[in-house]
Structure 1
């Protein structure tokens, strides 16, 4: 089912245009749903059988930390709200969804939330592997920079041959920004994602270099010829150059990094 880089970026742009749009857009026919339970946000995305986004809803929340659910009831409530919004927009009943989890953590932490919210779970796959499935990568590594952890999946001919996850992620950068400018966590997260302040990169650089060290250890001794970055932290202006310099490999950042994993999760059931 793999798509080209250009196709994925077009789909991400489409998802961004309808993000949190509640205007009615009735849909008939099959669809697939993905739920991304992140450290700073929860995203629900609905795609058609060709993987084109039909609805996308995001709610900022800190219900998961380092692959551990810290607010189970809050997470369930958010999923239910997002499902209701998607159902109202599309005029459909949503009973099933796919989800993901950081490599090395218990996938039941994610599936329990969806099931308690009243959803049957179609598929559950670790986050970077979801992206690898979407792009059908070869001799490449997907690096998913989550809030508290960084996950790496190494792919060969579309198959994941290694995946791992270690502490250090975007939340560390957000906390540095919050401390530097006296902002709340949510305000600092929005400033990080705005991608319009070059000075943020300087604050983020030590954490990014630590993340690069993690990735270097993950891919050591493996045939990796390019890196794909995923996650909201990748919105940082200049992050591509930092990873290229530290890892010595070509690095690609999608047009809407925050939405890449949700799109990939929703696309798991697309053939």
Structure 2
């Protein structure tokens, strides 16, 4: 029998195959749309009634920083374009979607961007909590490292205990690489994405990742989760999981090979969970 974690990993691999594939398909009877407004990218994922991804679109974009939209027009345009691609791919009219926000920020920021496209936001959930729901975590912590922030959701007895977020993410690694190599941010971003191929880049990223571990340690003060789940594109930087395992030796650290897609998958899948409660 396939475990939940194995199933989620399969869905992440499926998104990796699907992303930005606009080839038309026949829409299933039930489907849910999730829109993730990240610091480094905007992603729209669609899952069917069984939670299997059927469409995914990603645009790298510097329109959100530390949970704040700094390019509102750009964010709205990308969200609108991605939804149009979903409609054309599935041959449907999208009327509502689910979105998310970094803990501690105003959810209206994300809602306003998505609703600017002419659809309704049916539900909004903070990013790490959406992953906790997807993974059906009873006891544990979700660490969501995006482009600009590190978020932590702590779950006990199947209930969210706390959800915190602080500015420190993949963009801060890029800034360190840019300064260290004397290059611009765009080039530094490319080096970061190839960090597993370059020991020098991995070495430059290490102190920033250790800072993220310190942030998470502060979030976990007074809590001792047995398991820690890593999500977000920032967790894919070379050495990330090793540094976190060293920083939290008493906690089982769970990583995902395509963690960049985990939050948008969780946002879309949240619709299934809500549907089950109706």
TM-score bracket for this pair, using the shorter chain length: over 0.9
Structure 2: runs of 5 or more not aligned: 274-278
Alignment of 1:29-178 (within 5 A): 29-178=29-178
Single out whichever of 193-202 and 109-118 deviates more from structure 2. 193-202
Q: Which residue of 1 aligns with 2:208?
A: 207
**Residues 54/158 of structure 1: CA separation in 2 closer, same or farther (3 Å cut):** same
1:265 to 246, 267, 271: 267
Once the two structures are TM-superposed, the CA of residue 221 in structure 1 deviates from its matched residue by 1.1
Structure 2 length-normalised TM: 0.93
Once the two structures are TM-superposed, the CA of residue 201 in structure 1 deviates from its matched residue by 2.0
Single out whichever of 39-48 and 22-31 deviates more from structure 2. 22-31
Asked whether the equivalents of residues 206 and 239 of structure 2 are also in contact (C-alpha less than 8 Å), the reply is no
The alignment status of 1:13 with 2:18, answered yes or no, reads no
Q: How many residue pairs were aligned?
A: 269
Single out whichever of 219-228 and 205-214 deviates more from structure 2. 219-228
Q: CA RMSD in A?
A: 1.4
SS of 1:192's partner is helix
Q: Distance in 1 between matches of 2:38 and 2:124?
A: 14
Once the two structures are TM-superposed, the CA of residue 215 in structure 1 deviates from its matched residue by 0.6
Asked whether the equivalents of residues 102 and 127 of structure 1 are also in contact (C-alpha less than 8 Å), the reply is yes
Q: Distance in 1 between matches of 2:98 and 2:217?
A: 30
SS of 1:46's partner is strand
**Residues 21/187 of structure 1: CA separation in 2 closer, same or farther (3 Å cut):** farther
Asked whether the equivalents of residues 229 and 251 of structure 1 are also in contact (C-alpha less than 8 Å), the reply is yes
Once the two structures are TM-superposed, the CA of residue 104 in structure 1 deviates from its matched residue by 0.5
Q: Which residue of 1 aligns with 2:197?
A: 196
Once the two structures are TM-superposed, the CA of residue 148 in structure 1 deviates from its matched residue by 1.8
Structure 1 length-normalised TM: 0.95
Q: Distance in 1 between matches of 2:174 and 2:188?
A: 6
The alignment status of 1:241 with 2:246, answered yes or no, reads no
Structure 1: runs of 5 or more not aligned: none
Deviations 1:59-87 (A, max 9, x none): 01111101111011110000000011111
Q: Distance in 1 between matches of 2:18 and 2:190?
A: 19
Asked whether the equivalents of residues 192 and 235 of structure 1 are also in contact (C-alpha less than 8 Å), the reply is no
Q: Distance in 2 between matches of 1:101 and 1:38?
A: 9
Q: Distance in 2 between matches of 1:28 and 1:250?
A: 38
1:251 to 250, 253, 260: 253
Q: Distance in 1 between matches of 2:57 and 2:37?
A: 12
SS of 2:197's partner is coil
SS of 2:50's partner is coil
Q: Distance in 2 between matches of 1:185 and 1:228?
A: 29
Asked whether the equivalents of residues 34 and 264 of structure 2 are also in contact (C-alpha less than 8 Å), the reply is yes
Q: Distance in 2 between matches of 1:31 and 1:251?
A: 32
Asked whether the equivalents of residues 28 and 48 of structure 2 are also in contact (C-alpha less than 8 Å), the reply is no
